[in-house]
Structure 1
Amino acid sequence: MRFGMVDIGAPGLEGSILAHTLRLGESSGAVKKGAVLTKHDIERLRRSGYAQIMVAQLEPGDVHENEAAQTLAASLADPSTTASDASTGRCNLHAAQTGLLALDRNRIDAMNRVSESITMATLPERSLVQPETMVATVKVIPFAVPRTDLDRCVEILAGSRVLHVTPLRSFDAGLVLTELPGVSQALLERASRTQRARLSVLGSRVRREIRCKHSTRAVARAISTLRDEGCNPILLLGASAIVDRGDVIPSGLVAAGGEVVHLGMPVDPGNLLMLGRLEDRTVFGLPGCARSLNPSGFDLVLQRFFAGEPVDSAMISGLGVGGLLKEIPGRPMPRNLSAPRSKKTVAAVVLAAGASRRMGEKNKLLLPVDGIPMVARVVDALQQSRVQRIIVVTGHEPERVTEALAGREIEIVHNPSYADGIATSIRTGVAALGEDVDGALMALADMPWVSTDVINRLIDAFTADGELSIFIPMFGRKRGNPVLWASQHFSELLALSGDVGGKALFHRHSAAICYVDVESAGVNIDLDTPEALQELGIRADEKPGS
C-alpha cells in the first residue's frame, strides 16, 4: 500500500482512500476519512481549494481494512459469539449467551505478533458476560494490509476454539443459615435474599432453605436433608465465620458424612471459604463477605463451578494473582479511609408512579424488603448517599406511597398522567428539578438492592473531569440502573413520550456514555412479577414491620 500526499490532479487518484476528513466549507459538508474517492469527490475538493490531499492507494496483494477485519472475525466464528459488520477496519464480537469467557491466550498473542497492523483485544479471561456483551474486537490499523500477513493470522486462529463463551449450568441449590441468640430475623432475611439474587444472576436458584441453630448437630441434619432432597450445591452460611476445620460448619459437614476438601483461599475478600464434598454433592462454606452482593472469592469459585470447571484445592490455590479484589462496605479495617466528595449538585428522581399491573392486585412498592416498604428501602439508600435532593414521583395510590415514606426528607410530586407511560413520570421529575441541578439520578422504586455505594460511585464518576454526561452502572458486563444524567440532557428527557424511558437516548449519545463498573448485582434486579418476588423470598401477603 502506498500512502502519502498526492496532487489533486494526479492521474489514478480516483479509487484512492482519503486518509483524513476534509471540510468543504461552512455549508458544503465534507469528504470523510476512509472514503473511496470518486470523480465527484475529487472535483469538490479541487473547487474547495485543496491542491494536495493525503491518500492510501492499494497495490496488488493488499486487502482492504474492512475485508481483513471481517475475515479475522470469521476465523473466530463460534456459536457462542456473534460478529458485527466491519467498519473503519474494526469488527466486534459479542457474547450470544450468558457464561464465562474462555480464551487461548497463546494463539491470540501469536496473532498480535504477526504485524503491528493487525490487532485483537479481549475482555479478561473468565469474565462473566451476558448476551450482547462485547467480548473482543479485531482492529486493522491502516487502510489495508498485505494478504500474506492476513493469511498468517488466519492460519494461527484456525483449528480449535480461540475464543468461546462457556455457558453456565443451571442448579437447584440448598441453603443453610445458622442462628445464634440475639441474631435478628432481618439479618437472616437479608442474607437469604442476597444468596437468591446471587444465584438468579447466574441462572440458578435456591430450591430449599433451612435455618437452624449454630451447632454441629443442627448443621449436619440440615445438610443431610438438603442432600436427600437433591440439592446441589449446598451453601452453608454460618452465624459466625469459619476459622478452623474444627469449627461448627466444617464439623457439621463431616458429621453428615462429608469431607472438607479445602479451607481458606488466597482471595480478599473471601479468605474464609470452605470447599467440601458430600457424596456427589459440592458443599460451600461461605465467607462472611458473601452476605453482600459485592464480588468476592466465593463468586469467582461459584462462577467456575457453574461453568463446569473442576473446583478443587489446586484451582482455589491458583487464584492468588489478581485475588486482591475491591473493597466491600463493612470491612473491620477498610483499605481506603477517604472518599471523594461531590463538587456538583446531584438530585435523585425516584420513579414510584407505576400501577404494578404484572404484580396483580398488590402494589409492589409497598411490599416489605428487610421489614420496610420497597420504595422506602430505595429512598433510604439515596438518603445515605451524596445526592443533595430526593424527588419522588407518585402516580398509582399516591397516598399510600406517601405514607410509606413518612418522616423522610424528600420532595413528592404527583404525576396524574402516570397511566400513559413511564415517560410522563420522567418528565414530571425532571420538571421539578429547577435550574440549580447539575445532574439527575433516575432511580426505579422497584430496585431495592441498589446500594449507597453504587450511587456514590456514579456520583464520583460524574464529578470527575471529562466530557462524558451519561453514567450507567455495569455488573457482570450487563447494563443496569440507576442512570445519572447531566443537565444538558434534561431537555431531551422532557421530550420523551409514551412508555419509553431514557434508554431511548443511549444510541443517540453513545459517545457520551460512561459505563461504571460496580460490585453489586442489585443494579440488574428489579421486581416486576409475583415469580420474581417468590424467587427472592418476598411474600406478597406480608406487611412491613412484620
Structure 2
Amino acid sequence: MIFGEFPLHDAEGVLLAHSLRLPERTLRKGRRLGAPEIEALRAANRESVYGCRLDVEDVDENQAAAQVAAVLQGDGTHAARPGAGHCNLVADVAGLVRLDPHRIEALNLLDEDLLVATAAPWQRVAPGDLVTRVKIASFAIPGQRLEHCLDAIDASATRIAVAPFRQLRVALILTRLGAGDEKRTSELRDGMQRRLVQLGNGIDLEITCGHQPQAVAAAIARARGAGCELIIIGAASATVDRADMIPAGIRLSGGRIERFGFPLEPGSMLVLARQDDTPILVLPGCARSPKPNGLDGLLARIVAGHPPSDTEMARWGCGGLLPGQRAKPEGDAKSNERAKSEQPRIAAIVLAAGRSQRMGDDNKLLRPVAGTPMVRHAVNAALGVPLAGVVVVTGHQHEQIAATLSAHDITLAHNPDYASGLSSSLRAGLAALPAGIDGVVVLLGDMPLVTAAHLARILDAFAPDAGRSIIVPTFEGTRGNPVLWSRRFFPEMMALEGDVGARRLMRQYPDLVFDLAMDDAAVLTDIDTPGTLADLK
C-alpha cells in the first residue's frame, strides 16, 4: 500500500484519505477515485489529493475486518455487514458475553492495524446488542500479515460468544420468625421476581417455612422434589456465620456451603451453596432493593449455566465497590434507617389526557385491549412495581377515565388545558407528584404492551451517581417509552410549552442518557389509529 499525495493525473484508483467538500458534492473519506471524481476535482481547481493506492496483495479494510470477525464469531452471535473498516459481532440471544480477556489482549498485540474492542467478560446483552467491533486501522492490510493474524486467532481457539439465559424452574424459600414479616417477605419476593424476569425466568414455586434448620431442610427437599433447578432462600434474619440457621439447614438437607460472603458491596453477605447439581442462594438484605448489587452478577452467571470459579469470585473484589457506595458507618439502627432513606424514590406519571383524534369519535384509552380498557394496562404496569406514587393526568373525557380507574390506588390530576399540547399534561403530572421524589417515569396511556417487567428493568437501570439520570428503553436501536427522568430535570420539564415532550432534553444532556435495550417492541408500540388497534388484536 502506497500512502501519500497523488497528482490528479495519477490519482485514478486512489482511496481518499480525507473527505473533500466540492462546490457540487462531497467526496467521502475512503472513496475510490474514478474518472468522474477526478473531473469534479479538476473543476474545483484541485491539483492533487492525499490517499493511498493498494498493492495487489493488499486486502481491503472491510474484507479484512469481515474475515477476522468470521474467525472470532462464537455461539449466540452473528457478524454484521462490514463498513468503514470495521465489522461488528452482534448478539443473537439474551445472555452473557463469553470471552477470554487474555486472548483478546494477545490478539491486539498481533498487528497494529488489527484492533478488536469487546464488551466486558460476562456483560449482560440483549438480542441486537453490540458484542465486538473488529477494526482495521489502515485502508488495507497486506495479505500475508492478515493470514498470520487469522492463523494465530484460529490456533488459540479465540472465540467470542454469548451464553444464553436458560429457562430454569426456580423455588423461593422465605423463612419467618413470626408476625410482622409480611413487608420484608413481600419486598424480597418482588425484588427476586424483578431480577428473574430480566433473565427470562420467574418464581415457579414459593415456600414459606420457619427459621430453623429442620424447617429449611424440609423446604429444600420439597423444592428439589418439585424439580426445581435453582433454590433461592430469603431469610427472616441475616445469616452471620457458617453455623447459622440457614447454612445449618442446607447442610442438614445434604447440601454444602461453597462460599460464605463475597467481596462485593452491596451484597457481601451473599451465600452460595449446592446440593448435587442444584445451586442454592441465600440472599443478602440488599436483595429487597431494585438497585444493582452483588447478587445480580452471580444470579446471571448461574442462569446462563456458567457459575463462577473460586478464583473468579475472589477477583470480583477489584471493582467490588459498586457505584453509589458512600463511606458511612453501618450496623446500628440509625445508620440502617439512613441507608433505607437513601434508596431512590421514583413515582410514575401516566399521560391519559389526549383527544384521540385519529381514532374517530371514540376515546382510544377506553377501548378494550385483551378485554381491559387500554389505559388500565399502563396503570397496572405502574402499580406492578414499587413506586412512591402513580399520577394519572386526565383531560378529554375526564369523568369516563376517572370512572375506569376508580378501583386503582392512584392520584388523578385533571388538565383542563389538555388541548394546548402534551407539555401542559406533563406539567400537571409533575405538579401532582408527592414530595421528596428522586425521579419520575413517564408512561403513555396508549402503550398497552408495556408491562411491569419493562418498568422493573428501567427502574433497576436508574443510577444518577453513575451518570444514568435519564433511562430510555430501546428496541433494535430505536428509542421508545416510558422514560425515567431524574428530578434534576423537573424545572426544565415544567418550562416546556406546546405539543412537545421532554425529548429535547435528551439531546441537550447526551452524557446523562442511558439507552436500555429491550427484548421486544412493546416500548415502541403505541395505538394511534383504528388500524393499529385492529393489528394489535
TM-score normalised by length of structure 2: 0.73
Shift of 1:289: 1.3
Cα separation, 1, equivalents of 2:456 and 2:425: 26
Cα separation, 2, equivalents of 1:395 and 1:378: 28
Shift of 1:114: 2.3
In the alignment, residue 422 of structure 2 is paired with which amino acid? G
Aligned to 2:402: 399
Aligned to 2:371: 360
In the alignment, residue 13 of structure 2 is paired with which amino acid? G
In the alignment, residue 297 of structure 2 is paired with which amino acid? L
Aligned to 1:53: 49
Aligned to 1:144: 140
What is the CA deviation profile of residues 167-215 of structure 1, one whole-angstrom value per residue up to 9, with x for unaligned ones?
2332101111123345353442332122122222223332210123333
Query: Contact 1:97–1:130 (CA<8 Å) still a contact in 2?
Result: yes
Query: Contact 2:472–2:483 (CA<8 Å) still a contact in 1?
Result: yes
Superposition pairs for residues 6-405 of structure 1, below 5 Å? 6-8=6-8, 10-11=9-10, 13-25=11-23, 28-159=24-155, 160-183=157-180, 185-310=182-307, 313-327=310-324, 332=335, 350-351=350-351, 354=365, 357=368, 359-361=370-372, 365=376, 375=382, 380-381=387-388, 398-400=401-403, 403=406
In the alignment, residue 3 of structure 2 is paired with which amino acid? F
1:429 has 2:384 as partner:
no
Aligned to 1:535: none
Shift of 1:393: 7.5
Aligned residue for 1:399, secondary structure, equals: helix
Q: 1:234 to 1:355 in 2, by over 3 A?
A: farther
Aligned residue for 1:113, secondary structure, equals: coil
Cα separation, 1, equivalents of 2:67 and 2:377: 55
Query: Contact 2:418–2:425 (CA<8 Å) still a contact in 1?
Result: no
Query: Contact 1:95–1:129 (CA<8 Å) still a contact in 2?
Result: yes
Q: 1:224 to 1:471 in 2, by over 3 A?
A: closer
Any gaps of 5 or more consecutive residues in structure 1?
A: 341-346, 384-388, 417-426, 463-469, 497-501, 529-546
User: How much is the aligned-residue C-alpha RMSD, in angstroms?
Assistant: 4.8
Cα separation, 2, equivalents of 1:223 and 1:522: 33
Aligned residue for 2:301, secondary structure, equals: helix
Query: Contact 1:349–1:393 (CA<8 Å) still a contact in 2?
Result: no
What is the CA deviation profile of residues 301-344 of structure 1, one whole-angstrom value per residue up to 9, with x for unaligned ones?
22222232355655533432332222379985789x9999xxxx
Query: Contact 2:444–2:482 (CA<8 Å) still a contact in 1?
Result: yes
Cα separation, 2, equivalents of 1:238 and 1:262: 17
Query: Contact 1:275–1:285 (CA<8 Å) still a contact in 2?
Result: yes
Shift of 1:216: 3.1
In the alignment, residue 24 of structure 1 is paired with which amino acid? L
Q: Tell me whether 356-365 or 169-178 shows the greater mean CA deviation.
A: 356-365
Aligned residue for 1:71, secondary structure, equals: helix
Q: 1:404 to 1:478 in 2, by over 3 A?
A: farther
Cα separation, 2, equivalents of 1:145 and 1:441: 49
Query: Contact 1:450–1:522 (CA<8 Å) still a contact in 2?
Result: no
Aligned residue for 2:188, secondary structure, equals: helix
Aligned residue for 2:78, secondary structure, equals: strand
Cα separation, 2, equivalents of 1:82 and 1:53: 37
Query: Contact 1:382–1:452 (CA<8 Å) still a contact in 2?
Result: no
Query: Contact 1:93–1:137 (CA<8 Å) still a contact in 2?
Result: yes
Superposition pairs for residues 432-511 of structure 1, below 5 Å? 432=425, 442-443=442-443, 446-447=451-452, 449=456, 457=464, 472=472, 482-483=482-483
Aligned residue for 2:109, secondary structure, equals: helix
Q: Tell me whether 256-265 or 310-319 shows the greater mean CA deviation.
A: 310-319
Q: 1:213 to 1:444 in 2, by over 3 A?
A: farther
What is the CA deviation profile of residues 407-465 of structure 1, one whole-angstrom value per residue up to 9, with x for unaligned ones?
8484547999xxxxxxxxxx96356458xx9x996435744536778567399667xxx
In the alignment, residue 483 of structure 2 is paired with which amino acid? V
TM-score normalised by length of structure 1: 0.71
Q: 1:90 to 1:40 in 2, by over 3 A?
A: same
Aligned residue for 1:100, secondary structure, equals: strand
What is the CA deviation profile of residues 137-163 of structure 1, one whole-angstrom value per residue up to 9, with x for unaligned ones?
011112112222211111122153421
Query: Contact 1:103–1:164 (CA<8 Å) still a contact in 2?
Result: yes
In the alignment, residue 38 of structure 2 is paired with which amino acid? I
Query: Contact 2:65–2:86 (CA<8 Å) still a contact in 1?
Result: yes
What is the CA deviation profile of residues 65-89 of structure 1, one whole-angstrom value per residue up to 9, with x for unaligned ones?
1111111112223342111111110
Shift of 1:17: 0.9
Q: Tell me whether 326-335 or 135-144 shows the greater mean CA deviation.
A: 326-335
Cα separation, 2, equivalents of 1:23 and 1:316: 55
Aligned residues: 472
Aligned to 1:532: none
In the alignment, residue 301 of structure 2 is paired with which amino acid? R
What is the CA deviation profile of residues 24-81 of structure 1, one whole-angstrom value per residue up to 9, with x for unaligned ones?
22xx231111111121111112212323321221123222111111111122233421
Cα separation, 2, equivalents of 1:461 and 1:100: 21
Cα separation, 1, equivalents of 2:375 and 2:167: 28
Aligned to 1:421: none
Query: Contact 1:101–1:163 (CA<8 Å) still a contact in 2?
Result: yes
In the alignment, residue 399 of structure 1 is paired with which amino acid? A
Shift of 1:366: 7.7
Cα separation, 1, equivalents of 2:116 and 2:94: 22
